[in-house]
Every structure is written in C-alpha cells, then in structure tokens.
A = this chain, B = another copy of it.
C-alpha cells in the first residue's frame, strides 16, 4: 500500500529529541518530502513494525501522527506549490 505520514510533535519537555527520533525511524521506511511529512510504498508487516517503533516515542496525549493509506500510488497525484521535492529532503 502507499502511505503519507504526517506528524506534529509538541515542543515541550523533550519534544525536539522525540522529533529527531521519529524522523530517523520514519526515514528507515519512507521518503521524506517535507519537514515532518513522509510518503512511500510499504507492506502491512513493515507498517506494523514502523508503528511499534514509533509508539515508543510518540506521546499519545501530546503528539499527533496521522497516516493516510491509499491502496496504490496511482490513485495519488502530487503537486508542489513551493519548493520542489529534492530541496526539502535535507532537513535533518
């Protein structure tokens, strides 16, 4: 399946550290297209693994992480109204 993953980590407490950890974990499975936005093809098994890894960091009462799942990339078109893809992948 094809997913878009977006997260918003609250900056309080050790937010910046959590944000770095979440970024590094997501980068193992997906492509970074914007500061806290990832996309890519992923199997259900790997999505489960990603979920378990992220769960150790995401604070359910503070942080937001949303997954948009589409059965196939062909049903998803992407448009850039600002910086193009490659320029956004050097954030961390």
A39 to B: closest C-beta gap in Å: 8
Interface extent on A, as a size class?
A: 35 or more
- Please tell me if A92 contacts chain B, counting CB pairs below 8 Å: no
Query: Given known contacts A81-B51, A81-B54, A83-B63, is B7 in contact with A68 (CB within 8 Å)?
Result: no
Number of identical monomers bound together in the oligomeric complex: 2
Chain B residues within 8 Å of A83, by CB: 60-64
Partner of A8, one of B63, B65, B88: B88
Across the two chains, which residue of chain B brings its CB closest to A71? B75
Which residues of A are at the interface with B, using a C-beta cutoff of 8 A? 4, 6-8, 33-37, 39, 51, 54-55, 58-71, 75-83, 87-88
